[in-house]
Amino acid sequence: MGTQDMCTKQIREFCEVFARFMMVDLPPDWPVTYLEACWYLHQAFIVELYRSIERARVSLSDGQIAEMFKQPSRVMLYLLKFGYAFSPLTVMEKNRLVTDLLSLVSCRREGDIYCRDGRNLIWDVERVEGELQSSYCFDGALRESERLVPLLGRLRGRLTLYCEAAYPLCHPACHETHGCYQLEDGTILLVREYYDLRPTIWQFMSHTYVESVRIMERYRKIDISIDMINAHGPVTLASLSDNLLAFSIQANGGVLQDASQVAWLERTIERMGEELNHVTSSYSRRDWIRKIIEVHQYQLKPLKEAMDEDWRDPEMVARVSDKAVPTEFLRHYNALGQSAQLPGQMGLPTLVDSLMREYTE
């Protein structure tokens, strides 16, 4: 099979996955509609993403570039932005960007890069064993203290809400849920990593002191599946709590060793969220659009700095955010959305064909 045929096959497989994603898992329309955000990102971010990766490949390997994006779900999100049919990129550039991004995901994710088997495997066996040995586990204390399990649940909830506010319409860009890793004793390990929690686009956060959190949770063998942007299901929170055997928590790389430290972390994340909500409570639609663009630009920061380039472009952000989303763009993707809502799989072939045309015509 020739290179072009391989590329077309790879893009079709992606379009099939994207179509199924559209049918079940579109992000909520907050603080602006997802469609509107995608249009602005194609004008202000996707083109620069493509050009930055191409420039970086002159001196860096795909593995090195993937490390700079930190986690695979962050990269996968770039592929799930509607708008390639209206992108300033050429057909060849769109093809190249899709295959580049899929290559970066494959550098960080073991097995199926789309997690269709319900597993998001990032660590190898040696890494899993090493992390378990170096972490303090709340295991015996878990059953002795009625505070710990509810405290863990509140902490996860605070982190989720905070990520949704700090990374509007792209919150998986700052957290990665990975696993489930099968352990020798028949239990499973689920890992939740929250990172880049102080993006410098939020100026007021300069004095807060939680940059990263890692939660490792060991369960009895229960049915937990994780998708390509690290949402998990189908188990309920109650089922997770009932089957939790042990957990460990790190904040800023340091291991927490008692309930009071976990409570401190929960209060700190709560305060960070309150500060963020206070600042954004008076935001206009245009303010949110600017932040959505800026938080994506921030994700290019490590790559840009490795090439001695500035990741910020305030003039371009101001120029793009002043524009109105074209009516034909909204009409085109609303029509696709209607296909996605057809019963069963009836709309799937139409969606796949429509998405294929975005990358090949």
pLDDT at 256 over 70: yes
Residue 234 CA: distances (Å) to CA of 19, 192, 269, 310: 21, 17, 27, 42
Confidence (pLDDT) at 322? 94
pLDDT average, residue stretch 245-255: 91
pLDDT at 145 over 70: no
Indicate the pLDDT class of residue 75, thresholds 50, 70 and 90: very high
Confidence (pLDDT) at 325? 93
Confidence (pLDDT) at 129? 92
pLDDT average, residue stretch 190-217: 88
The fraction of the chain above a pLDDT of 90, given in percent, is 60
pLDDT at 40 over 70: yes
How many Cβ atoms sit within 10 Å of the Cβ of residue 250?
19
pLDDT at 1 over 60: no
Confidence (pLDDT) at 358? 84
For 291-317, write each residue's pLDDT tens digit: 999 999 999 999 999 999 999 999 999
Confidence (pLDDT) at 341? 65
pLDDT average, residue stretch 34-62: 94
Q: Which of 151, 301, 135 is nearest to 214 (CA)?
A: 135
What is d(CA 330, CA 83) in angstroms, rounded to the nearest whole number? 10
For 156-198, write each residue's pLDDT tens digit: 999 999 999 999 999 999 999 999 999 999 999 999 999 999 9
Q: Between residues 178 and 231, which one has the greater pLDDT?
A: 178
pLDDT at 4 over 80: no
Query: Hey, where are the domains in the chain?
Result: 3-108+285-360, 125-280
Q: Between residues 340 and 262, which one has the greater pLDDT?
A: 262
One-letter-per-residue 3-state SS of the chain:
CCHHHHHHHHHHHHHHHHHHHHHHCCCCCCCCCHHHHHHHHHHHHHHHHHHHHHHHCCCCCHHHHHHHHCCHHHHHHHHCCCCHHHCCCCHHHHHHHHHHHHHHHHHHCECCCCCCCCCEECCCHHHHHHHHHHCCCECHHHHHCCCHHHHHHHHHHHHHHHHHHHCCCCHHHHEEEEEEEECCCCCEEEEEEECCCCCCCCHHHHHCCCCCEEEEEEECCCCCEECCCCCEECCCHHHHHHHEEEEEEEECCEECCCHHHHHHHHHHHHHHHHHHHHHHCCCCHHHHHHHHHHHHHHCCHHHHHHCCCCCCCHHHHHHHHCCCCCHHHHHHHHHHHHHHCCCCCCCHHHHHHHHHHHHHC
Confidence (pLDDT) at 300? 97
Indicate the pLDDT class of residue 66, thresholds 50, 70 and 90: very high
26-40, 81-95, 282-296 — most confident range: 282-296
208-212, 267-271, 336-340 — most confident range: 267-271
pLDDT at 142 over 60: no
How many Cβ atoms sit within 10 Å of the Cβ of residue 252?
12
Work out the mean pLDDT of the chain and round it to a whole number.
88
What is d(CA 265, CA 305) in angstroms, rounded to the nearest whole number? 31
pLDDT average, residue stretch 199-208: 75
pLDDT at 343 over 70: no
pLDDT at 127 over 90: yes
What is d(CA 166, CA 174) in angstroms, rounded to the nearest whole number? 9
pLDDT at 22 over 80: no
Confidence (pLDDT) at 205? 61
pLDDT at 211 over 90: yes
Q: Compute the Cα dihedral for 337, 71, 170, 228 and give only its sign.
A: positive
145-154, 253-262, 299-308 — most confident range: 299-308
pLDDT at 243 over 70: yes
